[in-house]
């Protein structure tokens, strides 16, 4: 049986092909799954998709009509999949429920420190042999307050690093993480966390309850010199409201590895095209904003775990087994 994998990056291809070796043939394509590319899957019982795939009702109907029965998504998030439609069509859907939380937590810290210490600006200057320090003044993290929204595996990993910096720790979640409490974290209401934190990081899943968790009101609650980092899902932040606050000169720095309208942009080369997204175009012009293209998970360790779990999801499906990764079981 041949499996079709959509949205495969060049670095991922040899890893995916090697992981499936001895199990199934796999065809890797660089295009992302959407309404235009869905017909490519005709005849494939099993497909694998990336986090920015469009798995809305139209795409799912096309896939089902073409014979697809299993969708194995190579990510933890699944807000891009219409699970009710998939179930109605008799399709099985699986995801990767776990991979290295350190990859995302360490990258979130990379963004935080890069905007705090003006690393990008400093690097660009020295390339032009400009070695002035004007505008590069940062601040120590020790003794300041880190606010962690979402204290699951990734939030805990971020908290451990913050504890190593000697920071005060505030947390917000539906349930307290004992490991974070042991590190000295104090759980408080969201507004209190936003008002008191010098560094705010988002590690919650995107769902209706968390859509635009950081809206205009939340942004106004934050300190004028706060650092905001989002390495979770773009839809957690109201991007237009963020631009409005940045135009007022607020925030020491903002690090975004995700963007609410990133589908159709991130993972693609748009350098020779006109930028149609005015909000994103404005965001990248602010000197205190650093935008990266959803790469926090992108380490050999995490990607390897994601691929291994995807292979196991396929093997479980063929064997009729059900694991914690299954979102819509086999009918």
Return d(Cα 287, Cα 277) in angstroms, integer: 19
Question: Which residue in 133, 150, 110, 134 sits closest to 236, CA to CA?
Answer: 150
Reference 92, options 323, 330, 321; nearest CA is 330
Residue 233 CA to residue 133 CA, distance in Å, equals: 34
Q: Point out the residues that are catalytic.
A: 233, 262, 294
d(CA 160, CA 203): 14
Nearest CA-CA partner of 5 in 234, 303, 271: 303
How is residue 266 written in tokens? 């991130």
**Alpha carbons 48 and 27: distance in angstroms, whole number:** 10
DSSP letter (8 states) at residue 66: T
């Amino acid at each position: 049986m041949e499996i079709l994998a959509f949205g495969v990056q060049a670095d991922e291809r040899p890893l995916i092909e090697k992981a499936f070796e001895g199990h199934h043939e796999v065809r890797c394509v660089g295009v992302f799954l959407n309404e235009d590319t869905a017909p490519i899957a005709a005849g494939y019982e099993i497909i694998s998709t990336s986090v920015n795939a469009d798995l809305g009702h139209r795409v799912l109907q096309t896939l089902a009509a073409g014979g697809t029965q299993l969708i194995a998504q190579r990510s933890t998030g699944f807000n891009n999949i219409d699970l009710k439609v998939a179930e109605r069509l008799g399709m099985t859907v699986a995801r990767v429920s776990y991979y290295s939380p350190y990859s995302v937590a360490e990258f979130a810290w990379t963004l935080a420190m890069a905007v705090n210490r003006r690393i990008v600006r400093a690097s660009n200057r020295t390339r032009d042999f400009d070695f002035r320090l004007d505008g590069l003044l940062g601040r120590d993290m020790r003794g300041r307050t880190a606010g962690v929204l979402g204290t699951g595996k990734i939030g805990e990993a971020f908290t451990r690093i913050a504890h190593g910096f000697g920071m005060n720790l505030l947390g917000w979640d539906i349930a307290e993480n004992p490991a974070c409490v042991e590190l000295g974290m104090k759980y408080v209401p969201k507004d209190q966390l936003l008002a008191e934190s010098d560094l705010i990081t988002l590690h919650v899943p995107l769902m209706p309850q968390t859509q635009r968790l950081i809206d205009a009101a939340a942004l106004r609650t934050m300190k004028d010199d706060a650092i905001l980092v989002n390495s979770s899902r773009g839809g957690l932040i109201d991007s237009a409201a963020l631009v409005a606050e940045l135009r007022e000169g607020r925030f020491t720095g903002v690090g975004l590895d995700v963007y609410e309208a990133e589908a159709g942009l991130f993972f693609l080369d748009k350098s020779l095209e006109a930028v149609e997204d005015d909000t994103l175009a404005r965001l990248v012009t602010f000197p205190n904003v650093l935008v990266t293209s959803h790469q926090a998970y992108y380490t050999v360790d995490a990607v390897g775990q994601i691929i291994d779990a995807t292979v196991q999801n396929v093997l479980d499906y063929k064997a009729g087994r059900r694991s914690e990764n299954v979102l819509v079981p086999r009918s």
